[in-house]
Chain A
Amino acid sequence: MSLLEIKNLHVEVGGRKILNGLNLSVEKGQVAAIMGPNGSGKSTLSYVLAGKPGYTVLEGEALYNGESLLTMPPDERAAKGVFLAFQYPLEIPGVASMTFLRTALNAQKKTRGEPELSTPEFLKRVREVAGKLGIEPEMLRRSVNVGFSGGEKKRNEVLQMAMLEPRLCILDETDSGLDIDALRIVSEGVNNLRSSDRAMVVITHYQRLLDYIVPDVVHVLSKGRIVKTGGKELAHELEAHGYAQFAGEAA
């Protein structure tokens, strides 16, 4: 059974149809890249999977571990292991990163019926993971993402991902707004999380990120559906020839 199985998904946002019969399977242990031009439905796909309000599913389904995902509230999806790394991580004034991480982690554990992490255990893990990502302890005491640079915000997303240990990671344009050093650090963080029982869906416009996070499979998204699937070399082909060749196929 695939970890994620999307069948004939049709989704509308604000009266506009964005996804048009999307089919996609992601296996455990797989890193799947989804590439597509602007407006092809990449972010819509990530939001629909995470459960953002305002997206109307007209038809089709998404099964996660065989369970229907689309009717679950976002927090339940998160507790079951779905994680979306946001393209534009939000700033939360007045909520310290540390509090945020701990509240999220314990909320998930509570939903799953697991015991909460003790304070020393939690602190030890945060320090360890943050250290690897080059996140200063000082940053963790500050409000979530407030005053952070683009790179710091993305690193913070990866920190959350590493702490929450999800099974399905959806990375929405994680490379946007990153310089080359930040891209390397963030990619290393993501690569450290690759494992045989975890899948990653890496959504990106550019091939550049895929030099750092090397995918097992590349899907091309155009006009709301997957129009081509191939190996990692497909990314280079797209980089060289552009998306225009697929523009007609989805129509």
Chain B
Amino acid sequence: MKSKFIPLILILIFLITFIIFFKGLKNSNIYTPDTNLKKEVPSFELKSFENDSIVISEKIFKDNDYYLMNIWASWCIPCKEEHVFLMELKKDDRIELIGFNYKDNFKNALSFLKDLGNPYDIIVSDKDGTASIEWGAYGVPESFLVYQNKIIKRFIGPINNEDLLEIKKITR
């Protein structure tokens, strides 16, 4: 009686372990953060990109307007990819674009904008990247859609045509 049970239990344990690990194989091990968060916009005081004047976040983000806060840098190749879509978004007057120039060289950034166009209404420079951390950003490029002082959507990586359509749908 006893000897019959032990192999059965062993097989059962093996089966359960096998199923757990087999299911685990299919799970993605790449961390994907939540992109639909309703978080308050973090306040910041940063230097303006064009001159040394200080820009305060409370003066940028006003109620009932849509803002796209875009982190970019001239050394970032995917930023060039998404720039076309940002220029497209510039034509939409329901949304304002805020540029976060991330750990960049002023001259390079300026020539980047000269070559590809400047889609931004305001640009601030985040020289050491600490302000981006306050936003919970991972790197460049990354964009946050802001409405009523809340982050309503975030886009990690370059913005593509799908994202563009989604933004237009939200702001409509």
A and B associate in one complex? no
Tell me the A residues contacting B by CB distance below 8 Å. Answer: none
